[in-house]
Amino acid sequence: MSAPEAAGAAAEPGAGPRSERLRVVHTSTFRYSGPVLASYNEARMTPVSQPGQVVVSSRLDVHPHTWMHAYEDYWGTSVTGFEVLAPHESMVITAEHVVEVSPRLPVRSIVDWATLTSADVRDRFAEFLADTPTTAPPQEVLDLAREVVGDLAPAEAAEAVCLALRERMDYVPGVTTVHTPAAEAWAAQRGVCQDMAHLAVGALHGIGIPARYVSGYLHPVVDAEIGTTVSGESHAWVEWWVGEWVAYDPTNRVAAGEHHVALGRGRSYDDVPPLRGIYAGAETQELTVQVQITREA
pLDDT in tens, 73-123: 999 999 999 999 999 999 999 999 999 999 888 888 899 999 999 999 999
The 8-class DSSP code of residue 130 comes to S
Integer Cα distance of 190 and 78 in angstroms: 31
Cis peptide preceding 138, ω within 30 of 0: no
Query: Is residue 159 within 8 Å of 255, Cβ to Cβ?
Result: no
193-206 vs 154-167: helix crossing angle, rounded to 10: 140
For the segment 241-252, the average pLDDT, to the nearest whole number, is: 96
Strand partners, 264: 215
pLDDT-above-70 percentage for the chain? 94
- The candidate with the shortest Cα–Cα distance to 72, out of 47, 95, 40, 39, is 47
* pLDDT, greater one: 65 or 214: 214
Q: How far apart are CA 202 and CA 244, in angstroms?
A: 19
**Residue 240 pLDDT exceeds 70:** yes
User: In this structure, are residues 67 and 40 in contact, taking their beta carbons and an 8 Å threshold?
Assistant: no
Alpha helices, DSSP H only, in 112-228? 113-116, 119-124, 139-149, 154-167, 182-188, 193-206
Please give the residue that has the higher pLDDT: either 16 or 83.
Answer: 83
* Nearest of 198, 191, 186 to residue 238 by alpha carbon: 198
Section 267-280 average pLDDT? 95
Q: What is the pLDDT of residue 17?
A: 56
Q: Are 130 and 208 in contact (CB under 8 A)?
A: no
Task: Return the pLDDT at 10.
Answer: 35
Compute the 3-state secondary structure of the chain and give helix, strand, coil in percent, each to the nearest 5. 20, 40, 40
In a 3-state reduction of DSSP, which class is residue 208? coil
pLDDT of residue 284: 82
pLDDT of residue 106: 83
Q: What is the pLDDT of residue 93?
A: 96
- How far from chain centre, in Å, is Cα 244? 18
User: pLDDT value at position 30?
Assistant: 94
The pLDDT confidence band at residue 3, using thresholds 50, 70 and 90, is very low
Q: Please give the average per-residue pLDDT across 116-142, as a whole number.
A: 97
* pLDDT (0 to 100) of residue 150: 93
Distance between CA 249 and CA 218 in Å, rounded?
10
User: Between 8 and 232, where is the model more confident?
Assistant: 232
Predicted confidence band of residue 137 (pLDDT cuts 50, 70, 90): very high
Bin 80: left if φ > 0, else alpha if -120 < ψ < 50, else beta: beta
Residues 60 and 89: their CA atoms lie apart, in Å, by: 20
Write down the pLDDT at residue 237: 98
Mean of all residue pLDDT scores within the chain = 91
**C-beta separation of 34 from 87 below 8 A:** no
Give the mean model confidence (pLDDT) for residues 217-245: 92
Specify the range with the lowest mean pLDDT, choosing from 84-98, 142-156, 196-210, 277-291: 277-291
Q: Is the pLDDT of residue 212 over 90?
A: yes
